[in-house]
Amino acid sequence: MEVGLEQGLEFNKVECKQSNGELFASIYHELLKIARRHLNHSRFMCSINATLLVNESYLRLCVPSVKKIESKAHLMNLVSLTMRQIICDYARKVMNTKIDYFGDDSSEDSVNLTETDLNHAQQCIFIEDLMEDLYRVDPRYAKVIECRFFAGMNEAETALAMQVSIRSVQRFWSDARQWLTEYVNK
């Protein structure tokens, strides 16, 4: 079943009906690309591959608290956001555990991470905190960053996912990038 972006889907994720699986399956390869992009920037995620990240995202989205999915773009945005949350949860766990990251610990829980890996984990946490601040400033800015940067959507897909015009997406994208530049340069 190929689902077009413009085709609105109204299936309830609480029940995880067959149509959920069909939609998910129809964009599975696109979701793997998004997962690989997330993981390429998260080298400390040595125990998780793209397939596991996509599957974990799907499982987290099949919960009663998640509302109806309105389109393919909406699902891709939700999955990308969920992937980022999974990676950030893992980064926080890495940073909060008392594991000898440089490989001197021989316990079962030991993870051999380099200083570069720890820096990547810290960057991931910084980006998540930055996105939370951006949500407080203007949720539309955060949403456009999620769609464009994290989910890899083009302007039209972002407009559809956000239910706004393409011109609004362009304006939000520009304003969000300006805000991010000012925030990082503080």
Which amino acid type is present at position 23?
L
Position 11 in a domain: no
pTM above 0.85, yes or no: no
pLDDT for 113 equals 66
Chain centroid to CA 3: how far? 21
Position 10 in a domain: no
Backbone angles phi, psi at 3, to 5 degrees: -110, 125
Region for 50 from its dihedrals, namely left if φ exceeds 0, alpha if ψ lies in -120 to 50, beta otherwise: alpha
Position 1 in a domain: no
Position 173 in a domain: yes
The Cα-based distances of 20 to 4, 16, 74, 79, 99 in angstroms read 15, 6, 13, 13, 39
Position 100 in a domain: yes
Position 160 in a domain: yes
Per residue in 97-151, pLDDT (tens digit) is: 644 444 444 444 445 667 777 787 888 888 888 999 999 999 999 989 888 887 7
Structural domains of the chain, count: 1
Query: What does the pLDDT average to over 82-104?
Result: 72
Its domain, for residue 22, covers 18-184
